[in-house]
Each structure stands twice: as structure tokens, then as C-alpha cells.
Copies of this chain bind each other. A is one copy, B any other.
Amino acid sequence: VITISELARFAGVTVKAVRHYHARGLLPEPDRDASGYRRYDAQAAVDLIRIKTLADAGVPLARVHELLSAEQDEFAVAVDEIGRDLSARIRVMEQHRTRVARLTDAASLALPAFVLDYLDRLRALGLSERMVNVEREGWILLCAHRPERSQGWIRMKQESLDDRSYVEGYRLLDLTWDWAPDDPRLVEVADAFAQIAPGLRTAEDDPAAPVPEDFDDTMVALLDSQTVEKVPSWARLIGLLQERGLIGWTDPHYDD
């Protein structure tokens, strides 16, 4: 009594969708008129609205097919499950929304505000932009890998930055970037670090400090590729520091 386009508009779907539901066996093929046009009645409209209601809720069409011929109790259980599934999907979408809301620019992608504050402070302390960049990419990795611990680490780093000798260490490291690995000044820098060392915080000082278990092999490999493998002079420097009994988070076997 109505045509396919009338039916489709009525239910709020496309004509193609209706034909697709026929092909899938979800909606029974109606009788045709003299020219081969499909003619639908109210039952078809009711069926289609049911299909759309379930499909809109994210139910796969194969599942819709089952449900349309399900018994009362079986259906009730399924509807309950669909509702919980929708709620769960809404929750993850809300997480993604808050994550997206933090993305003010491409540089801060995946970085929470407390890391951005920390990076701003490094800039304010006079560190070079490429140094800040190394930190930034490192923190993107850390935040992705250990989101629950990263805030604690940042707090610890912020406290460390209150220490002048710690800041001096950073500035020294910044200076060595372009030096050749065999630059004799690196030995002086390593000695300077050894002086500063007592001021550097370790896991023994602070329970929030990172411990070896915080970094799996993947993490260590990635952080290394950003630092010792990228800046030749730093590889040398790490070696010199190890000779002086100072080791950081990096793989002791980085030089393999």
C-alpha cells in the first residue's frame, strides 16, 4: 500500500538500507505490484522500525535477526545486555572526548596539562627547544605507558627543579648535544655530574621515584632511541657516568 521510499522515509532509513535488509533476510520481501514495485503494509513499517531501533543501538544485523524471532525472556536478557554494552561504549567515548579536549595542538597530543606545565618550566629555566623536545617525546611515551604513575613522576621532577645543582646538570647536558663523542670536555662534564650527584634524587630517597620495574624492555629501548642512540656525545657521557658509579634509567647494555 506504500512504496519503498515512503516506507524508508517513514522509518528514517534509506531505500538502500531497506533493500539491504531484504537481502539479509531481516525484512520479508513484500508482494509486488503490476510493474514489479514492492508494496508495503503497516506490518512492514512496524518490522522496519524494530530493525532500525536495534540497529541504531549498535546491534549487528545478524544479532537483530535472532532477536526478532526470540522469546520474551531471551529477548529481555539480550536487551539488558545491549543496554549495558551501550553504556560501556558511551563511557569509552567520554574518555576519548576528555582526551581529545586536551589536544590543544599537535605538539601536546596525548600529553596531560601537568606535563605541559613541566615543559614550560624547562623552557623558563633556559633549556634549549630541542632539549625540551626530547623531554616532550619522552613524556609522551611515559604517559602512554604508565599513565597512572606519570603524574607522580612529574611532581618529583618539579621538586628536583627547585634544586639549583639539578638545573645546572640539565644545562650542562644541553650544552653537550653537538659535541663529538671524543670531545675531551665530556670528561669534565662527567666530573661535574659526579659533584652534583649527591643532590640527585633516587628511588631510595623517594618512594615515588621510578624503579627498574617501571620500565619494560620496550620502554627502555624506546627511551634509548630518543637519547643515547640519537646524540652520540650522550652515549659517551653515559659511559663516563657509569664509570663514576652513576647510572640512570637507561639500559646498561646500550652500547651492545
User: Residues of A at under 8 Å CB distance from B?
Assistant: 1-2, 6-7, 9-11, 41-43, 45-46, 49-50, 53, 56-58, 67-68, 70, 72, 75-76, 79, 82-83, 86-87, 89-90, 93-94, 96-97, 99-101, 103-107, 109-110, 137-138, 140-141, 144-145, 217-219, 221-226, 229
Contacts and interface: CB of A to CB of B under 8 A. Distances in A.
B106 A72 contact: yes
Contacts of A141: 42, 45-46
A79 B1 CA distance: 48
Q: Which of A42, A67, A217, A229 has the most CB of B within 10 A?
A: A42
- A interface SS class: helix
- Report the 7 A-B pairs with minimum CB-CB distance, sorted nearest first: A41-B225, A42-B226, A1-B225, A42-B222, A86-B97, A6-B218, A50-B109
A82 B103 CA distance: 10
What is the count of identical protomers in the complex?
A: 2
15 contacts: A41-B225, A41-B229, A42-B223, A42-B226, A49-B110, A49-B140, A57-B99, A75-B106, A79-B100, A83-B97, A83-B100, A86-B100, A90-B90, A90-B93, A90-B94
A201 to B, nearest CB: 24
Given A145-B10, A222-B10, A86 B79 contact: no
Nearest to A48: B144
